[in-house]
Amino acid sequence: MAMSGAQLRLPNVQVRWDRLLMLAGGTLLLAFAVLCAWQTWLIGNQSGAIRQIHAAQDDAVRALGEEISTLHDQASWAVSALDTSGLPTNSDAVLAALKQRLPQASNVELYSAGLDEVLHANYHDFGYAKAAQLMAAPDAEGVPPVQSQTEKGERRLTMVLPLGSQQKPLAWAWIEFPFAPVADRFNNLATGGGRLELHQSSDRGENLQLLAHGGSSAFDAEPEGKPVAGSSFNVVAVLPGAYIVLPQSVPIAMFLSLLGLAGAVGLLWLYVRTSPARRRVVASVEEESLSDVIAKQPAPVPAPPVVRPAAARPIAKPPAAVPVTVDPTIFRAYDIRGVVGKSLTAPVAKLLGQSIGTVMREKGLREMVVGRDGRLSGPELAGALSDGLRAAGIDVIDIGAVPTPVVYYAAYRFNTGCGVAVTGSHNPPDYNGFKIVVGGETLSEGAIQDLYKRIAANALESDEKGNLRHVDVVPDYIERITSDVQTERRLKLVVDCGNGIAGAVAPQVLEGIGCDVIQLYCDVDGNFPNHHPDPSDPHNLEDLILSVKQTGADLGIAFDGDGDRLGVVTRDGEIIFPDRMLMLFARDVLSRQPGATIIYDVKCTGHLKGQILDAGGSPLMWRTGHSLIKAKMRETGAELAGEMSGHFFFKERWYGFDDGIYSGARLLEILAGDIEGRTPEQIFATCPKGVSTPELKVEMAEGEHYRFMEKFREKANFGDATLITIDGVRADWPDGWGLVRPSNTTPILVLRFDADNAEALKRIQDLFRTQMLAVDPTLKLPF
């Protein structure tokens, strides 16, 4: 009987071992699947982290290259502008002049053309690295690279520049700059979870680490860094670590994870299927009928009755505040502009401030610069705008009554990237408006309309936590320009500010760069009692032309109401249109930045493209509008841009925003620095011109100018002309062109014509007149 019992129990023991193997195998496969899933995540995360650190490495190389390029340009400009006649006998005077031109330099020294004093120096005292950099300069291909050296425990940027040509130098300049700006820019970069290291390579193959920034867990430095242009520096990416044991391939790791999961599910399913308890339940259920199973179910418990509370008394609501009506037509293509007291009021300005503040909060920005021009409505509107910004939780830096470019400058100076200029620009006294920069981007088109949509939907922040402080940034702005721009000889100017806000700043800047200034209508008066502050209209330049002739001045300079546009007249009374000024600016910039992109708007002369190409640049025609031009500059990396309205945008040596005052200083630098000693009239004569008109304007009802252009695009027929429709309609022929476009600031059509001769100009004007009157016979055309 015992043997028989053992034989009966043996199969049960065998079944338990099988099930234990199933459970163990399923558990192990499940753990394997989890491990592979974790490895898949690590591999994917590691790949993303590597992409981020490489992107951060590229950003660092670009940022440091820009910093070094700026310093090198400043030094090159200072060296190239020196009077080196008589070297080496007057080396002390040349050195003093160079130090004066480079106040930001920590140290400046001059060495002979043959570097004899370096060759025979005691290198222990002189410095081995310094001697090596100086002696390598004559053999360098191109510009000698910028390096870093330590002087008395302080790290500095060092460069060597020739006075004269590098092949036949008259002397060598040793220039040291503080290293801190480069270190600050490097340390403020995002690293994407890894670490960046700034190294300096030597001609002996050594690679010295100067700086390190980023996560402490990073490891596995790449063997070679990416070089920083113009220097001996390179940026090394130190990749973030991860404990990866599988092949670093997301598809393979994912496949192994799914394979392990499928095996685990299969084994665990078999384990459950072979459970003795489950077999007994299945057998028991198979012996019962359906009615037996249903009969064993518990009876349902009735739901308790629903007790409805007595109706509550309605709570009286406080009376709603009277809503502020906001006119959507004030939200234009590249700024906000309206009539004060009608479409533009203090409550509207406050809502606009809240809307701008809401956008800033979403972008993680918390500080805004606010300035205003000299219009009588400026203080009230700027105050209401600031109240709205502060209600949205934004801190406001109020810089008071200043030109619009000073607002842009302050946004850079205080590192906010955000600024609002409360200005009506060149519009009549009853107009005012807002030019807006958020996160370094001048708002236009869709971004402007988004502000209105937020107001209309009442989707506005209202924390009421923002602070307010008042700052005078004008002295810093003047110092920044005059420390960089100086005229080689004194020019006598008449400066007409049209009673606009430029009168508070422009004369000081132009005197500071070395000019004699005769002020005309430079007292700020928001009524504009003498003439309209718009230099694009020749009638507004009549007093300036007369003053230049009466005083015998070399030149006349005019600014618009907020100082971001420039007008120029010569001693002979000729108006120098902005597209011809842009030719001079392009030649100057391209002499230092060959191949750079130069942008101009659709209203500029057809000769401009050829002039830019001849100077070695890349011309690009674009739409009119300061914010649209600035956006295109950021997209293309352009060094210079200009509009026929008188806006000029310098990226080279400046910040890329439109600044009539700075542009005037750069123009005078060019005119006074002519090496042939030519007069301004002779220099302007090198800029080709045909027969052209100024901007012609056709006034229309609000919005009607847009509707006219829609019909004109559909119906106009200009035969074999080349049509450009990026902004209005421009028709180009081999001997001239014509343009009609809708203004985005006032309800007018803007026209301009330019041709090689009077006959061609008349032919083009007649054709435009016929085509425009065919669309609207009631138009009163000014040509």
Annotated catalytic sites, by residue?
337, 425, 647
CA distance linking residue 699 with residue 749, whole number of Å: 7
Instruction: Evaluate whether 73 touches 101 at the Cβ level (below 8 Å).
Output: no
Interatomic CA distance for residues 338 and 332, integer angstroms: 9
Nearest Cα neighbor of 517 from 487, 485, 483, 556 is: 556
- What DSSP letter does each residue of 166-225 carry, written as one string? SSSEEEEEEEEEESHHHHHHHHTS--TTSEEEEEEE-TTS-EEEEEEEE-TTEEEE-SSP
Task: Tell me the two tokens of residue 724.
Answer: 């450009």
Contact 456, 326 (CB under 8 A): yes
Q: Give CA angle at 762 (760, 768), nearest 5°.
A: 105
Q: Measured between alpha carbons, how far is 591 from 7 in angstroms, rounded to an integer? A: 104
In contact, 358 and 460? CB cutoff 8 Å = yes
- For 393, phi then psi, to 5°, come to 90, 20
Rounded Cα–Cα distance for residues 624 and 601 (Å): 5
Write the single-letter amino acid at 476.
Answer: D
Q: How far apart are CA 227 and CA 233, in angstroms?
A: 6
Give the whole-angstrom CA distance, residue 613 versus residue 604.
15
d(CA 741, CA 730): 8
Distances from the Cα of 451 to the Cα of 247, 331, 418, 436, 652, angstroms: 50, 8, 15, 11, 32
- For residues 156 and 106, the answer to whether their CB atoms sit within 8 Å is yes
Burial of 518 (0-12, 13-18, 19+ CB in 10 A): middle
Q: Are 744 and 776 in contact (CB under 8 A)?
A: no
**How is residue 275 written in tokens?**
């459970």
Report which of 500, 389, 376, 380 is spatially closest to residue 436, judged by C-alpha positions: 389
Rounded-to-integer distance, Cα 569 and Cα 557, Å: 7
All residues at 6 or more sequence positions from 114 whose CB lies less than 8 Å from its CB, including other chains: none
Q: Which structure tokens are listed for 18?
A: 């099988």
State how far the Cα of 91 lies from the Cα of 98, in Å rounded to an integer: 10
C-beta atoms surrounding 671 within 10 Å? 23
709: helix, strand or coil? helix
Distance CA 485, CA 508 (A): 13
Instruction: Please state the three-class secondary structure of 275-322 as a single string.
Output: CHHHHHHHHHHHHCCHHHHHHCCCCCCCCCCCCCCCCCCCCCCCCCCC
β strands within 486-603, DSSP E: 492-496, 516-520, 555-559, 566-570, 575-576, 597-601
| Cα torsion 150, 152, 156, 158: sign | negative
What length does the chain have? 783
Q: Which amino acid, 153?
A: G
Closest by Cα among 176, 122, 100, 121 to 92: 100
**Measured between alpha carbons, how far is 605 from 578 in angstroms, rounded to an integer?**
10
Coil, helix or strand for 521? coil
